[in-house]
Chains A and B, each alone.
Chain A
């Protein structure tokens, strides 16, 4: 058995995936920034010459996380809509899964981190995280609970469900440790993992 399926690594990868996706979907649902969740612009990776994150949105390659934020903003555009809630775009995650791809991730790692953490410590990991769910266009925060439960029950999805349109979406992230943050002892803020790859599809 390889370190990728080591017990500690599995547990840590699940927690890291949950943590990252909870943060990510909260941010995009609230219209907040997500760019700092990508590898771009982080010192350790910049210094070591890591390529920018590969972001592919509905088949379109997006050069920077900021451009992805612009697309998200574009998605929320509804200039005529007087009700701010109905301008919302809300992502509801239904499935989440995570695998460890490389339990001994070393790229751009400070020597201290390599000395301190063995490959079975669940720290120096490259992760493969997938989510699927439903994205609702034009809905309020409260409306979604009703619509998401009723829509699955056959036949009457559109009836009474307070959203304008919905799509199924899927996201895949490849995450790597955020050395900048891990290195600082006692840091409580900041992302522990950063995305080097993000693939999004909604249809």
Chain B
């Protein structure tokens, strides 16, 4: 079995390839899979079994398969991999993965298909063509059925005077609308029918959906039995003797066993994908002992599934020489412990050295310590480029500490009084823009985002999204989500670099002035406007300060202010750390679950403060506003305020 050359397991739908959604829609007697699904791309053995005839042999001309434009139709042949047990297993897993993994693309639920009976093709001019005009009729229907969305029809078949066609229930009304259309000189009659398609095999007693679920459950049960949470160990030793797998017949032959292993790996990764848990935190050790493995390529999938695996037991297999292990030599880079006892290769003359060379981070081989952790870290560093060291903040802002003073005031005011902040430090020439990373999840920023990298340099938005002047900037700020920055005293949270530079224009028009460039990155808590939850975002803010015009409240002003926000992600690091510390940090980023019931007092206090800031009411009335019909929804609370503003007593606005 060749190693996967395409996208790795579990990721294919997000990579550049676009597997067709059609493959998962096959129902009834018609099996069509036009885009080759992932497992097949990987050089999967199931492709070798497609010659097993299924109930519906391909009828389309073979040459169509290479048609560049409508190649999809050419691949209409029933390429069911259903003839073998391994195919079944692969299909089931594929169905399972496509249901869970590529939800965006495969969002359509599996529905029972509607059978349509079309009359009129026989009388048309197209009836004389090689396939009886079936293909061009289907193309005609696809073209006419809907302008808004692409409708892709199945294979269809001609029986007697009718064309029989199974279609998705969503598409059926659009197709039925074409009843009475004229096609190649003949009037088409299209009707829905409950009759079975003549000549087709009777529908299978168990639907593919239930079979998939059943296989999935069985495999998940196997994984469940074999996972040891305490040791974070997935024990896949002696799989051939597993009662469940034995009953499924999953290990009857070598290719089947490889297939089953792949299925197990797919399920493993899909399971953790779904839970957004880092797989390497849950599975740190795997045992593949006693599996009669001749070459690790048979179980290659383990490496892409668990690239950061730390302990691996391969003992009592039949690896004869190093070439049988070489597939993994650049893969399992974090492997610390390996057991190869009981494999013939352990008798080779350069046995330990070759393995030590291939796995740079390996520290324990067959129970013997071969490297210290420091040595391993050094060996690993020689294998990959290494990031530059990171020093703390570099503040070169002169004797007056202008930057420190400015920033301290700035972020406090930005959290509490943005309008006041704009008045103090921004004049009518100040520039501000906000920039949201391309994969930012919140929409609070994206409609103002001035990202030249994605929107280009010429569009009108480059002008519209550059905010100039303190008042305009303050107006925008009022529309951006409320924030809370960490205290400046927590130095570890902040990275601040600043320095002065010459030749900024002097606001009086007299020559040049010095400017101060300040770059700040940190993170802030953000209040979600839709749900009363808080999330964490990382941000980068770059300021240019220059001298103020005469009469301004401060001797300096903000000339340019750029805010870049990104989704906050815990740092991913490969720097060698002691095993104890390698356990993931607590998910600080995880926003509190939605719903008012789980709001902490602190969050409530913050929301009260936010309502007070926006409405001018005092804390007591802000709380009333939030606890009433708004039920701790900030947006609703503000709406309620707008509605009832006129009826509010004056003491609502009185400071307490």
**Closest chain B CB from A193 CB (angstroms):** 14
With A81-B384, A99-B433 known as contacts, the answer to whether A60 contacts B391 (CB < 8 A) is: yes
The answer to whether A130 and B542 touch across the interface, beta carbons within 8 angstroms, is: yes
The answer to whether B383 and A81 touch across the interface, beta carbons within 8 angstroms, is: yes
**Closest chain B CB from A197 CB (angstroms):** 5
The answer to whether A150 and B452 touch across the interface, beta carbons within 8 angstroms, is: no
Any chain B CB within 8 A of the CB of A79? Answer: yes
Interface size class on chain B is 35 or more
Can you list 17 residue pairs at the A/B interface with Cβ under 8 Å? Answer: A15-B457, A18-B453, A51-B502, A56-B394, A78-B384, A79-B382, A94-B453, A98-B452, A149-B16, A150-B11, A153-B14, A156-B279, A158-B280, A170-B564, A174-B544, A201-B521, A203-B390
* Residues of A with C-beta under 8 A to B308: 158
Any chain B CB within 8 A of the CB of A172? Answer: yes
User: Which residues of B1-24 have CB atoms within 8 Å of chain A's CB atoms?
Assistant: 7-11, 14-16
Any chain B CB within 8 A of the CB of A23? Answer: no
Q: Which of A5, A60, A149 is within 8 Å of B468, CB to CB?
A: A5
Any chain A CB within 8 A of the CB of B499? Answer: yes
With A150-B14, A159-B304 known as contacts, the answer to whether A138 contacts B501 (CB < 8 A) is: no
Q: Mark B538-569, 1 if CB is under 8 A from A, else 0.
A: 10101010000000000000011010101000
* Residues of A with C-beta under 8 A to B386: 75, 77-78, 137
The answer to whether A101 and B559 touch across the interface, beta carbons within 8 angstroms, is: yes
| Residue among B275, B280, B560 having the largest count of chain A Cβ atoms under 10 Å | B560
With A4-B429, A168-B566 known as contacts, the answer to whether A130 contacts B540 (CB < 8 A) is: yes
Q: Mark A1-43, 1 if CB is under 8 A from B, else 0.
A: 1101101001100110110000000000000000000000000
The answer to whether B502 and A165 touch across the interface, beta carbons within 8 angstroms, is: no
The answer to whether B385 and A158 touch across the interface, beta carbons within 8 angstroms, is: no
Q: Mark B354-398, 1 if CB is under 8 A from A, else 0.
A: 000000100000000000000000010011111111111110100
The answer to whether A156 and B10 touch across the interface, beta carbons within 8 angstroms, is: yes
**Closest chain A CB from B105 CB (angstroms):** 12
The residue of chain A having its C-beta at the shortest distance from the C-beta of B573 within the complex is: A165
Q: Which of B307, B428, B450 is within 8 Å of A158, CB to CB?
A: B307
The answer to whether A172 and B517 touch across the interface, beta carbons within 8 angstroms, is: yes
* Residues of B with C-beta under 8 A to A54: 499, 501
The residue of chain A having its C-beta at the shortest distance from the C-beta of B449 within the complex is: A95
In the bound assembly, the distance between CA atoms of A109 and B574 in angstroms comes to: 48
* Residues of A with C-beta under 8 A to B450: 97
The answer to whether B458 and A11 touch across the interface, beta carbons within 8 angstroms, is: yes
* Residues of A with C-beta under 8 A to B564: 95, 97, 130, 132, 170
Residues of B at under 8 Å CB distance from A? 7-11, 14-16, 269, 272-280, 304-305, 307-308, 330, 333, 360, 379, 382-394, 396, 428-429, 431, 433, 435-439, 450-454, 457-458, 462-463, 466, 468-469, 495, 497, 499, 501-505, 512, 515, 517, 519, 521, 538, 540, 542, 544, 559-560, 562, 564, 566, 571-574
Any chain B CB within 8 A of the CB of A123? Answer: no
A interface majority secondary structure: mixed
Q: Which of B433, B505, B572 is within 8 Å of A157, CB to CB?
A: B572
The answer to whether B276 and A155 touch across the interface, beta carbons within 8 angstroms, is: yes
Q: Mark A163-185, 1 if CB is under 8 A from B, else 0.
A: 01111101010101000000000
The answer to whether B387 and A156 touch across the interface, beta carbons within 8 angstroms, is: no
| Residue among A18, A83, A172, A196 having the largest count of chain B Cβ atoms under 10 Å | A172
The answer to whether B269 and A159 touch across the interface, beta carbons within 8 angstroms, is: yes
The answer to whether B519 and A150 touch across the interface, beta carbons within 8 angstroms, is: no
Any chain B CB within 8 A of the CB of A89? Answer: yes
The answer to whether A170 and B457 touch across the interface, beta carbons within 8 angstroms, is: no
8 additional A-B pairs beyond A94-B451, A159-B10, beta carbons within 8 Å, are: A59-B495, A79-B382, A81-B382, A130-B435, A156-B273, A199-B497, A199-B519, A202-B387
In the bound assembly, the distance between CA atoms of A164 and B331 in angstroms comes to: 10
The answer to whether B307 and A96 touch across the interface, beta carbons within 8 angstroms, is: no
With A17-B452, A159-B269 known as contacts, the answer to whether A95 contacts B437 (CB < 8 A) is: yes
With A75-B388, A77-B385, A154-B276 known as contacts, the answer to whether A172 contacts B542 (CB < 8 A) is: yes
The answer to whether B503 and A176 touch across the interface, beta carbons within 8 angstroms, is: yes
Any chain B CB within 8 A of the CB of A145? Answer: yes
With A17-B452, A80-B383, A99-B562 known as contacts, the answer to whether A155 contacts B273 (CB < 8 A) is: yes
Interface size on A, residues (CB 8 A): 86
In the bound assembly, the distance between CA atoms of A94 and B454 in angstroms comes to: 8
The residue of chain B having its C-beta at the shortest distance from the C-beta of A57 within the complex is: B388
The residue of chain A having its C-beta at the shortest distance from the C-beta of B15 within the complex is: A146
In the bound assembly, the distance between CA atoms of A129 and B280 in angstroms comes to: 38
In the bound assembly, the distance between CA atoms of A108 and B7 in angstroms comes to: 54
In the bound assembly, the distance between CA atoms of A79 and B540 in angstroms comes to: 34
The answer to whether B462 and A14 touch across the interface, beta carbons within 8 angstroms, is: yes
In the bound assembly, the distance between CA atoms of A172 and B495 in angstroms comes to: 14
**Closest chain B CB from A2 CB (angstroms):** 4
Q: Which of A15, A102, A149 is within 8 Å of B505, CB to CB?
A: A102
| Residue among B439, B451, B502, B517 having the largest count of chain A Cβ atoms under 10 Å | B517
The answer to whether B517 and A174 touch across the interface, beta carbons within 8 angstroms, is: yes
In the bound assembly, the distance between CA atoms of A81 and B275 in angstroms comes to: 35
The answer to whether A164 and B388 touch across the interface, beta carbons within 8 angstroms, is: no
* Residues of A with C-beta under 8 A to B382: 78-81
Any chain B CB within 8 A of the CB of A190? Answer: no
* Residues of B with C-beta under 8 A to A80: 360, 379, 382-383
In the bound assembly, the distance between CA atoms of A9 and B262 in angstroms comes to: 58
The answer to whether B542 and A128 touch across the interface, beta carbons within 8 angstroms, is: yes
* Residues of B with C-beta under 8 A to A56: 394, 497, 499
* Residues of A with C-beta under 8 A to B566: 132, 168
* Residues of B with C-beta under 8 A to A60: 389, 391, 394
With A126-B504, A159-B269 known as contacts, the answer to whether A5 contacts B466 (CB < 8 A) is: yes
The residue of chain A having its C-beta at the shortest distance from the C-beta of B541 within the complex is: A130
Q: Which of A103, A158, A199 is within 8 Å of B517, CB to CB?
A: A199
